[in-house]
Each structure stands twice: as structure tokens, then as C-alpha cells.
């Protein structure tokens, strides 16, 4: 029982691993932005002082920048693994695809506007952050639709011929629902670490949201499973994926227990650590399980890809990148330390 | 499951190609290997306009962010020296300019993603080839970009509370990573025009190509100039400083314009190393290209003269309006320069490897036998509009071979470009396309397809009447075939080099 991605030959397994890991990193930031902008919109509408919303106002622009940067890597690797499908789906949904970047630019500026001190009217602030949340929801919807269309090659010809701009697939709603709800525990982890020192009671609210997110996204995943074709359903049970399903279930169980504890004891550091580790594992395992559904559509490694050089350089530069980012953190920490 | 081979379940290609590799003829195997994507119609706008608009914005923002990093380092160095001059430098550093850099590098990233999306829309096969060959270098570039973003945000967020040495380290990291990002992407982009002796897999031969260094240095100087011009514009808004102190700051920023003196040398170096036919388009062979070269050179010259004589020698003060005008000129120069860079590659997107219509040179001969429309597995959206099968075939051929650069009757419209041609003239010009215009690729289809295009253009010119007689004259077909054979399947540049018979 060789688990994913070891079950795949070199270099396909490497590309799959890099795709899944970088997608999980991207999802961590984007989940924070998607759920965070929704949370901030609701908080602004309620018009009450909310420590979580204050933190989000401050950090959402950075999280979006980090999410977009992190998203470049899976965007690169998907073009290696599923090039023909990815490009075709982009071309078939080109109106939407070309609207994606302006929507993200608008969302980015709205986050800065939401952060600006000059925007003081609660109604305006709520409208600004709600509009930003809609931009991100639009992006999530477009990606989901594009992903599903890329796998439905039987419809491509008619889709193009009819000049359609929407791909209304029954799997779209549960898939989108799963991802949106799964972003709640991501927000809960990130924001809990940010507010626990100054506003521990707010962690209880975040934990409750995380519980709703975990239960809801799990229900969404089962809804998706019910709509899968038999072959796709069988791929979920393939020997290389089962270990990841088990890991996902274990991670979610740990998260449930940890968040239940945080509802009772919001300042429990131990519970938050368990929720963080469980959330990280759930992200990676979830990305693998998501990928398993389209592994049958993997394109053979093209000659150009197989012969491409530069991997050792990439590995060296990747290590340097990690080192540089850690060093930046250390520099800032030292620079801000009161001893100075 | 180790070594599992993925099965492809994509829609079958049309009859004649087959999609079973066993027993396939060599011709069929070549055709099978050609990736075929749906072609979108952008209405009256040609696709080059779309990628041009996104590309120019992206290049402008990204180069400003790179030059901005150098400029921030310089001002941080001045701030670290203390005194009134240092205070003003710090005010500039922690002010609006920092925000501008932040916005530009995030917008630069987003428009960079947009470039990828747009490239897919324009030529999926080209971007696919580039990804296949250079994905590890693109991944390296991503690492640099990640460091750039992290260092930039750290400085933006905590910079005012950090000691000078830490601020300097963050800025050096930011600037170094930003320039490193340019270094890697420049190699991939310059490879498209001057791949030289590159063959698939020869990564470094392709990366360190003939135009790599002049292009990199040129872009570095331009990045510094853009940063200086934005900085000057920002400084003019510092109402809390008196005019003399603003003048002093402007003088400091203007030093980043001094390297522009090297631009003529770098431009000549670039021109010297690009292929002779590309150089020919830029230096008079194509009026449009030459005009854009003139705009880029003229705008750069104006900025350079103002910078050299006005700002650096006479230390003039610059008003906000003048600074804005200089920046607008710089945008114009960037736009024209990018147009020239893209246009100089014609008729290729990757020289000697892929034509602008996504057909490879070694596929032309095969498509001359099979027909380009037979590749196309997508239906015509407006099939009912065409009264004959011949016209519908013409529309498919235009879609496969021409639509990447031309519309039918919009921008760069075929109907307009051929309006004075007789039918016979059109047959010969299209069949010998690479001789008609050497920056066009050779026609990659059958004689029937040439005739179908000719009839389509005549029909469109006639106002697309409901009734139209299909023309199937064997003599006409034979003449077209003779012209096709005579022109051969080589690009026009080869005929130019060897002298057309």
C-alpha cells in the first residue's frame, strides 16, 4: 500500500507532491482571507467593537498578498500535470477567467480601503468589506467551476459551440460549500493565535465557527461523494489514497476535540496547538483527497517536461528562500525587542 | 500503482487523424502531437491588444517595484547618515512612496498572474512550451518573488519601529530579490526571440541567450528610471517640506536617472544580437514597428535630456505637473518598447520553434497534406451564417491560422488588408504568405483551404450575402498547389537569407 505521491513514477510523483503542498499553502492564506473578509463584513454590519475584526482589518491585505504569491506555485505545477485540460477550461470560460484578476485587484484595494483610518462610517466600512468578500467568493466560484469543467471533456465541444459562459454542474454547489466552510477553521487557527493574548474570550467565538466549519465541510464532502461517478468514487478508496483519508479523518477528529476544548477554555494553549497541527494536516490531506478525484485524468509527462533542467537549482534556491524568510522574521523580532 | 500511466480521455480528433497510436502513419503521429485548443473571438479587438494592454501594465508596475527597491536602499543609506538630510530621506522612505512600492508589487504579482491567463488565451501552446522547458526556473523566480514580498511587507509593516541597520538589511533583501526575479524572467522572455543554439533540454543555452545581458541591463536601467520618476512625483506632494528641501530630495532621486545615459549603447547592443530579419522590421522594414521604436527612443531621449540637463546639471525644481508628464512619457516609452519586443519575434512566438499561430515549422509540411482545419475539433459558433461548406471551411482555416493576430473585419482585419486584391492575387499571396510578408508564417494548409479563405474574404467583402456559389475549379486548385510548392514550407526569413528564387 504505497501512499500518494510515492505511488507515481518519477518525475510525476514529484510534481504531484509539489502541487499538493503548494496548493495547501495557498489554501491556508486564501482560507484566512475568504473567511476573514466574511467575518469582518458580519462584524461591521453588527456595528459592535470586535477584537477579531480589528485584527483582520490589519492583516487581511497581507494575507491576500501572501495567498496570491503562494498561489503562483500550484498554478505553475497544474500546467505541467494537466496542461491540456487546464488551458482548455480557461479558454472555454474565458470571460470569467479574464474577470478573475480584476476581481482580485478590486478585492485587494477594498481590503486597504477597509483598513484605512479615513473610512469611519460603519455602513460604508461594512459595504467595503462585504464587497471584498464577494470578490473573493467570485474567485472561489470561478476556480471551482473551471476545475470541474476541465474534467468534463465530453462537454467541451458543445460548450464551445453554444458559446456558453456558465458551467452549471450539480457538483459545483457542494464543492464550493465544502471549501468555503473549510475556510472557517483556517481563520479560527490564524486569528486565535493573533487575539489570544489580548482578547482570549474572542477565541471562543472563533472555536464555535471552526466547529461549524468542520461539521459543515465534512457534510459538504459527503454530499460531493454522493454525486461522484463510480470510477471517481473508487479512486477515493484506492490503496494510495486511503492513508490520506485516514489522516484527514484523524486530523478533523483532533480539531473537533481541540475546538470543543477551546469553547470551554478559550485560553488553552495546548488545545490551540492541537487545532493548529490538526488543521495543517487536514489541509494537506484534504488537498491530496481532492487531487485523487482527478488522478485518472493525469496527462503523461511530456518530453519537454521530462528533459527540463533546473531542479537542483530550484531545490537550492527553495532552501535559501526558507532561510531568508526565517531570517527576515528573526531580524524583525530582534529589531522590535524592547532590549534594543 | 508505481509507474501508473495516465489514460487520456480527451475528445477525439476528427476523422483522418485517428487517436490510436498503434499503426498510425508518421504524418498522423505528427498531427496527433499537435495540441488543439478552442479559439475565442475577441470581437473587433485582436488578441495582441489584450495581451499588450495587460503586459504593458505589468511590466511598468513590476519594473517600478524593482527600481523602487534600489531607490529605497539608497534613501535608507542617506537616512542612516543622520542630519537634516537624513531626516528628509527618512520622511520620504516612510511616506507615500513605500505604499506605492507595496501596491505596485502586489499589483505587479496580480498582473503577472493575469499575464499567464492572457497568454493562455492568446497562445496556449506557446505558454505550454515555455512552462514545459523552463518550469524549474519559473519556480526559482517564484522563490525570489516570495522573498521580495516577505521583506517588502516586513519593511512596510514594522519599518518605522526598526533600527537603521535592520531596515537596511530588509531593503537590500527586498531589492535583491526583486532584481533576481527580473533576472530569471528575463532569461525566459529573451529566449523567445534569440534561442540561438538551444535545443529542448539545453536549459542554460536557452537561458543565457544572445539578448539576455543587453535585455537585463536595459530593463534594470529602465526600472531605476521609473522609480526615480515616481519618487520625484511623490516628493512634489510633500507640502510639509519647503521648496529647497524638496529640491534637494528631487536631486537625490534624480541620480537614479543618470544610468539612462547607457540606454543608447544597450539598445545598439540589443539590436546587434537579435536576428537580422527582426532587426530589419525595427529599422524600417515595418513602418508600424519602426514608428514604435521611434516613440520609445524619442520619449526616452526627452526624459534623458530633461534629467541630464535640467535635474542633474542645473538642479532645477520640478513641479508635480512636469513630474507627471515625465512619468507619462516613461509609460509611453515602456508601452512602445514592449510592443517592439513582442513584434520583433514575428512570425514566431519562439523563434524557429513555434509560429505565432501555434504551428511548429516542422508541422507545416504535414498540414499542407492534411489541412489545418482537420486539426480543429471545435465547431463554428456561427456555422449557420455560411451559405456553403467552402465558406465554413474558410472560417475554420482563419480561426486556426490567422485569428491569433487578425480579425476578419476589425483590428488588423483581413477583409480590410486584402480589399484591393483580385481573387487570383489573393490566391497567390496567401499560398506564398511568407513571401508576401516575411513576418507572416507560411500557409499551413491545403490548396482547398487557400481557396476557401479567398472565397470567405470575397464573400465578406460582398456583404456576406445569403447565396454564394462555391468555387471548385481544378485548374485553380492546381495553380494554388503550384504556388504552395514553389514557396515551400520554410519561413520567409529563410527565403530572405538565401534569396527568393
For the stretch B80-93, pLDDT in tens is: 998 888 999 998 88
Is B166 within 8 Å of A334 when comparing Cβ atoms?
yes
How large is the angle between the packed helices B83-93 and B243-254, nearest 10 degrees? 70
| Chain B residue whose CA is closest to A314 | B140
pLDDT surpasses 50 at A171: yes
Comparing CB atoms, the residue among B10, B107, B131 nearest residue A105 is: B107
Q: Once rounded to an integer, what is the mean pLDDT over residues B382-402? A: 96
Closest residue by Cα to residue B303 from B336, B342, B339 = B336
Is B120 within 8 Å of A308 when comparing Cβ atoms?
no
In A, which residues are within 8 Å of B173 by CB distance?
324, 328
pLDDT surpasses 90 at B449: yes
Q: Which of residues 378-397 of B touch A (CB under 8 A)?
A: 378-381
* Cα Rg of chain A, angstroms: 21
The enclosing H or E element of B207 equals helix B203-207
Comparing CB atoms, the residue among A79, A297, A340 nearest residue B128 is: A79
pLDDT surpasses 60 at B10: no
What is residue B15's predicted lDDT score, i.e. its pLDDT?
A: 36
Closest residue by Cα to residue B55 from B127, B136, B113, B134 = B113
pLDDT surpasses 70 at A330: yes
Q: Once rounded to an integer, what is the mean pLDDT over residues B99-115? A: 78
pLDDT surpasses 50 at B3: no
In chain A, which ranges are continuous DSSP H helix?
Answer: 12-46, 51-81, 83-92, 94-115, 122-151, 153-161, 172-195, 201-227, 230-236, 242-264, 269-292, 303-306, 311-336
Q: Which of residues 50-109 of B touch A (CB under 8 A)?
A: 50, 103, 106-107, 109
What is residue B7's predicted lDDT score, i.e. its pLDDT?
A: 36
Q: How many whole angstroms separate alpha carbon A212 and alpha carbon A204?
A: 13
Residue A11, min C-alpha distance to chain B (Å): 10
pLDDT tens for each residue of A232-261: 888 899 999 999 999 999 999 999 999 999
pLDDT grade for B356, boundaries at 50, 70 and 90: very high
What is residue A1's predicted lDDT score, i.e. its pLDDT?
A: 72
* Bridge partners (DSSP) listed for residue B350: B354
Is B143 within 8 Å of A317 when comparing Cβ atoms?
yes
Q: Are strands B354-355 and B348-350 parallel, antiparallel or unpaired?
A: antiparallel
The residue that leads in pLDDT, B292 or B5, is: B292
pLDDT grade for B109, boundaries at 50, 70 and 90: confident
Q: Which of A245-249, B102-106, B403-407 has the lowest mean pLDDT?
A: B102-106
pLDDT surpasses 70 at A52: yes
Q: Is the omega angle on the peptide bond into residue A11 within 30 degrees of 0, that is, cis?
A: yes
pLDDT grade for B497, boundaries at 50, 70 and 90: low
DSSP string, B334-347: HHHHHHHHHHTTTT
How large is the angle between the packed helices B83-93 and B47-80, nearest 10 degrees? 150
Q: 10 Å Cβ neighbour count for A300? A: 12
pLDDT surpasses 90 at B375: no
ipTM of the complex, rounded to two decimals? 0.94
Q: 10 Å Cβ neighbour count for A254? A: 17
Residue B159 contacts residue B75 (beta carbons within 8 Å): no
pLDDT tens for each residue of B421-442: 999 999 999 999 999 999 999 9
Q: Once rounded to an integer, what is the mean pLDDT over residues A95-112? A: 92
* Bridge partners (DSSP) listed for residue B255: none
Q: 10 Å Cβ neighbour count for B85? A: 15
What is residue B76's predicted lDDT score, i.e. its pLDDT?
A: 95
Phi-psi region of A308 (alpha: psi -120 to 50; beta: other; left: phi over 0): beta
| Chain B residue whose CA is closest to A83 | B128
Percent of chain B surpassing pLDDT 90: 76
Q: Once rounded to an integer, what is the mean pLDDT over residues A179-197? A: 97
What is residue B44's predicted lDDT score, i.e. its pLDDT?
A: 86
Q: How many whole angstroms separate alpha carbon B269 and alpha carbon B218?
A: 10
Query: Residue A324: is it exposed, middle or buried by C-beta count within 10 angstroms (0-12/13-18/19+)?
Result: buried
pLDDT surpasses 70 at B189: yes
Q: How many whole angstroms separate alpha carbon A10 and alpha carbon B10?
A: 24
Q: Once rounded to an integer, what is the mean pLDDT over residues A32-41? A: 97
pLDDT grade for B202, boundaries at 50, 70 and 90: very high
Q: Once rounded to an integer, what is the mean pLDDT over residues A96-100? A: 89
Is A308 within 8 Å of B163 when comparing Cβ atoms?
no
Is B37 within 8 Å of A317 when comparing Cβ atoms?
no
pLDDT surpasses 70 at B19: no
pLDDT surpasses 80 at B22: no
**Burial annotation B44-62 (CB, 10 A radius, 16+ → b, else e):** eebbbebbbebbbbbbbbb
Q: Once rounded to an integer, what is the mean pLDDT over residues B56-62? A: 92
| Collapsed DSSP state (helix, strand, coil) of residue A119 | coil
pLDDT tens for each residue of A134-167: 999 999 999 999 999 999 999 999 999 999 999 9
Residue A324, min C-alpha distance to chain B (Å): 7
Q: Tell me the backbone φ, ψ of residue B6, rounded to 5 degrees.
A: -75, 140
pLDDT grade for B374, boundaries at 50, 70 and 90: confident
pLDDT surpasses 80 at A217: yes
Q: Once rounded to an integer, what is the mean pLDDT over residues B66-79? A: 95
Comparing CB atoms, the residue among A7, A66, A72 nearest residue B1 is: A7
What is residue B1's predicted lDDT score, i.e. its pLDDT?
A: 36
Q: Once rounded to an integer, what is the mean pLDDT over residues B40-59? A: 86
| Residue position matching grid coordinates 509507474 | B3
Q: Tell me the backbone φ, ψ of residue B485, rounded to 5 degrees.
A: -65, -40
What is residue B14's predicted lDDT score, i.e. its pLDDT?
A: 38
The residue that leads in pLDDT, B66 or B42, is: B66
| Collapsed DSSP state (helix, strand, coil) of residue B348 | strand
| Torsion angle of C-alpha atoms B478, B484, B488, B494, degrees rounded to 10 | 150
In B, which residues are within 8 Å of A97 by CB distance?
117, 121
pLDDT surpasses 50 at B11: no
Residue A331, min C-alpha distance to chain B (Å): 7
pLDDT tens for each residue of B272-286: 999 999 999 999 989
Q: Once rounded to an integer, what is the mean pLDDT over residues A307-333? A: 97
Q: How many whole angstroms separate alpha carbon B227 and alpha carbon A178?
A: 44
pLDDT grade for B96, boundaries at 50, 70 and 90: low
Q: Once rounded to an integer, what is the mean pLDDT over residues B353-378? A: 94
pLDDT surpasses 60 at B17: no
Interface test with A, best of B42, B112, B132, B178 (most A CBs within 10 A): B132
Size of interface A-B (CB pairs under 8 A): 224
The residue that leads in pLDDT, B374 or B498, is: B374
Is A313 within 8 Å of B116 when comparing Cβ atoms?
no
| Chain B residue whose CA is closest to A155 | B11
pLDDT grade for B25, boundaries at 50, 70 and 90: low
What is residue B5's predicted lDDT score, i.e. its pLDDT?
A: 35
Residue B127, min C-alpha distance to chain A (Å): 9
Q: Tell me the backbone φ, ψ of residue B241, rounded to 5 degrees.
A: -100, 145
pLDDT surpasses 70 at A196: yes
pLDDT tens for each residue of B213-251: 999 999 999 999 999 999 999 999 988 899 999 999 999
Contacts of A254 (CB under 8 A, 6+ apart): A274, A275, A277, A278
In A, which residues are within 8 Å of B161 by CB distance?
335-336
Is B140 within 8 Å of A334 when comparing Cβ atoms?
no
Closest residue by Cα to residue B131 from A302, A92, A312 = A302
Comparing CB atoms, the residue among A90, A329, A332 nearest residue B120 is: A90
* Cα Rg of chain B, angstroms: 27
pLDDT surpasses 80 at B496: no
pLDDT grade for B26, boundaries at 50, 70 and 90: low
* DSSP H helix total and E strand total for chain B: 20, 2
In B, which residues are within 8 Å of A103 by CB distance?
none
What is residue B43's predicted lDDT score, i.e. its pLDDT?
A: 82
Amino acid at each position: 500500500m504505497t501512499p500518494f505521491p510515492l505511488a507515481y513514477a518519477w518525475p510525476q510523483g514529484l510534481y504531484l507532491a509539489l502541487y499538493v503542498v503548494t496548493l495547501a499553502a495557498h489554501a491556508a492564506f486564501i482560507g484566512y482571507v475568504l473567511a476573514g473578509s466574511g467575518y469582518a463584513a458580519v462584524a461591521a454590519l453588527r456595528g459592535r467593537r470586535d477584537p477579531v475584526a480589528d485584527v483582520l482589518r490589519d492583516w487581511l491585505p497581507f494575507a491576500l498578498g501572501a495567498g496570491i504569491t503562494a498561489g503562483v506555485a500550484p498554478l505553475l505545477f497544474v500546467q505541467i500535470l494537466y496542461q491540456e485540460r487546464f488551458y482548455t477550461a480557461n479558454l472555454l470560460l474565458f470571460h470569467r477567467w479574464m474577470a478573475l484578476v480584476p476581481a482580485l485587484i478590486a478585492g485587494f484595494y477594498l481590503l486597504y480601503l477597509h483598513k484605512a483610518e479615513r473610512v469611519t462610517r460603519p455602513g460604508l466600512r461594512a459595504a467595503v468589506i462585504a464587497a471584498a468578500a464577494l470578490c473573493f467568493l467570485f474567485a472561489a466560484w470561478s476556480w471551482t467551476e473551471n476545475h470541474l469543467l476541465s474534467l468534463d471533456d465530453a462537454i467541451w465541444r458543445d460548450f464551445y459551440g453554444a458559446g456558453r459562459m456558465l458551467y452549471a454542474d450539480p457538483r459545483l454547489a457542494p464543492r464550493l460549500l465544502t471549501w468555503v466552510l473549510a475556510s472557517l477553521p483556517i481563520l479560527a487557527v490564524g486569528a486565535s493565535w493573533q487575539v489570544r493574548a489580548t482578547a482570549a474570550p474572542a477565541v471562543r467565538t472563533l472555536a464555535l465557527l471552526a466547529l461549524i466549519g468542520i461539521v459543515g465541510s465534512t457534510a459538504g464532502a459527503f454530499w460531493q461523494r454522493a454525486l461522484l461517478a463510480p470510477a471517481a468514487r473508487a479512486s477515493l478508496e484506492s490503496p494510495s489514497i486511503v492513508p490520506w483519508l485516514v489522516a484527514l479523518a484523524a486530523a478533523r477528529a483532533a480539531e473537533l476535540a481541540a475546538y470543543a476544548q477551546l469553547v470551554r477554555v478559550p485560553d488553552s494553549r495546548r488545545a490551540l496547538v492541537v487545532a493548529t497541527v490538526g488543521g495543517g494536516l487536514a489541509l494537506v490531506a484534504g488537498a491530496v483527497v481532492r487531487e485523487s478525484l482527478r488522478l485518472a485524468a493525469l496527462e503523461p509527462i511530456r518530453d519537454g517536461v521530462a528533459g527540463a533542467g533546473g531542479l537542483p537549482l530550484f531545490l537550492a534556491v527553495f532552501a535559501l528562500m526558507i532561510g531568508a524568510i526565517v531570517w527576515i522574521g528573526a531580524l524583525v523580532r530582534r529589531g522590535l525587542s524592547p532590549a534594543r | 500503482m508505481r509507474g501508473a500511466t495516465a489514460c487520456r480521455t480527451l475528445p477525439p480528433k476528427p476523422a483522418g487523424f485517428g487517436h490510436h497510436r498503434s499503426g498510425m502513419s508518421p504524418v498522423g503521429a505528427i498531427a496527433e502531437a499537435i495540441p488543439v485548443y478552442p479559439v475565442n473571438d475577441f470581437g473587433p479587438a485582436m488578441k495582441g491588444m489584450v495581451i499588450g494592454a495587460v503586459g504593458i501594465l505589468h511590466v511598468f508596475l513590476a519594473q517600478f517595484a524593482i527600481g523602487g527597491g534600489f531607490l529605497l536602499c539608497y534613501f535608507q543609506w542617506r537616512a542612516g547618515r543622520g542630519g537634516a538630510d537624513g531626516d528628509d530621506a527618512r520622511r520620504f522612505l516612510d511616506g507615500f512612496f513605500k505604499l506605492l512600492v507595496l501596491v505596485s508589487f502586489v499589483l505587479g504579482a496580480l498582473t503577472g498572474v493575469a499575464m499567464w491567463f492572457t497568454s493562455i488565451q492568446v497562445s496556449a501552446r506557446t505558454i505550454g512550451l515555455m512552462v514545459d522547458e523552463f518550469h524549474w526556473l519559473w519556480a526559482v523566480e517564484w522563490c525570489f518573488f516570495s522573498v521580495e514580498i516577505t521583506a517588502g511587507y516586513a519593511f512596510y509593516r514594522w519599518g518605522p519601529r526598526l533600527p537603521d541597520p535592520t531596515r537596511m538589511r530588509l531593503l537590500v533583501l527586498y531589492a535583491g530579490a526583486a532584481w533576481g526575479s527580473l533576472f530569471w524572467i528575463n532569461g525566459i522572455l529573451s529566449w523567445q526571440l534569440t534561442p540561438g543554439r538551444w535545443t529542448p533540454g539545453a536549459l542554460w543555452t536557452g537561458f543565457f541567450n544572445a539578448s539576455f545581458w543587453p535585455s537585463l541591463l536595459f530593463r534594470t536601467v529602465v526600472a531605476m528610471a521609473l522609480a526615480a520618476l515616481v519618487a520625484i512625483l511623490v516628493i512634489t506632494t510633500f507640502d510639509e517640506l519647503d521648496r529647497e528641501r524638496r529640491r534637494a530630495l528631487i536631486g537625490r532621486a534624480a541620480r537614479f536617472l543618470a544610468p539612462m545615459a547607457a540606454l543608447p549603447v544597450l539598445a545598439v547592443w540589443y539590436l546587434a544580437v537579435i536576428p537580422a530579419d527582426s532587426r530589419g522590421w525595427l529599422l524600417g522594414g515595418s513602418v508600424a514597428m519602426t514608428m514604435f521604436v521611434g516613440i520609445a527612443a524619442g520619449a526616452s531621449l526627452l526624459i534623458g535630456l530633461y534629467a541630464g540637463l535640467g535635474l542633474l546639471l542645473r538642479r532645477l525644481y520640478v513641479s508635480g505637473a512636469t513630474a507627471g508628464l515625465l512619468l507619462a512619457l516613461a509609460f509611453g516609452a515602456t508601452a512602445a518598447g514592449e510592443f517592439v519586443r513582442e513584434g520583433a519575434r514575428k512570425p514566431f512566438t519562439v523563434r524557429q520553434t513555434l509560429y505565432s499561430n501555434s504551428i511548429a515549422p516542422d508541422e507545416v509540411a504535414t498540414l499542407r497534406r492534411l489541412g489545418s482545419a482537420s486539426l480543429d475539433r471545435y465547431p463554428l459558433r456561427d456555422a449557420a451564417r455560411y451559405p456553403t461548406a467552402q465558406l465554413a471551411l474558410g472560417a475554420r482555416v482563419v480561426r486556426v491560422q490567422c485569428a491569433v493576430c487578425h480579425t476578419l473585419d476589425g483590428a488588423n482585419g483581413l477583409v480590410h488588408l486584402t480589399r484591393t486584391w483580385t481573387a487570383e492575387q489573393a490566391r497567390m499571396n496567401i499560398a506564398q504568405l511568407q513571401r508576401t510578408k516575411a513576418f507572416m508564417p507560411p500557409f499551413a494548409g491545403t490548396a482547398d483551404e487557400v481557396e476557401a479563405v479567398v472565397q470567405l474574404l470575397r464573400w465578406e467583402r460582398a456583404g456576406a450575402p445569403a447565396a454564394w456559389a462555391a468555387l471548385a475549379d481544378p485548374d485553380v486548385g492546381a495553380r494554388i498547389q503550384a504556388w504552395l510548392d514553389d514557396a515551400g514550407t520554410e519561413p520567409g526569413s529563410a527565403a530572405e537569407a538565401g534569396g527568393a528564387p
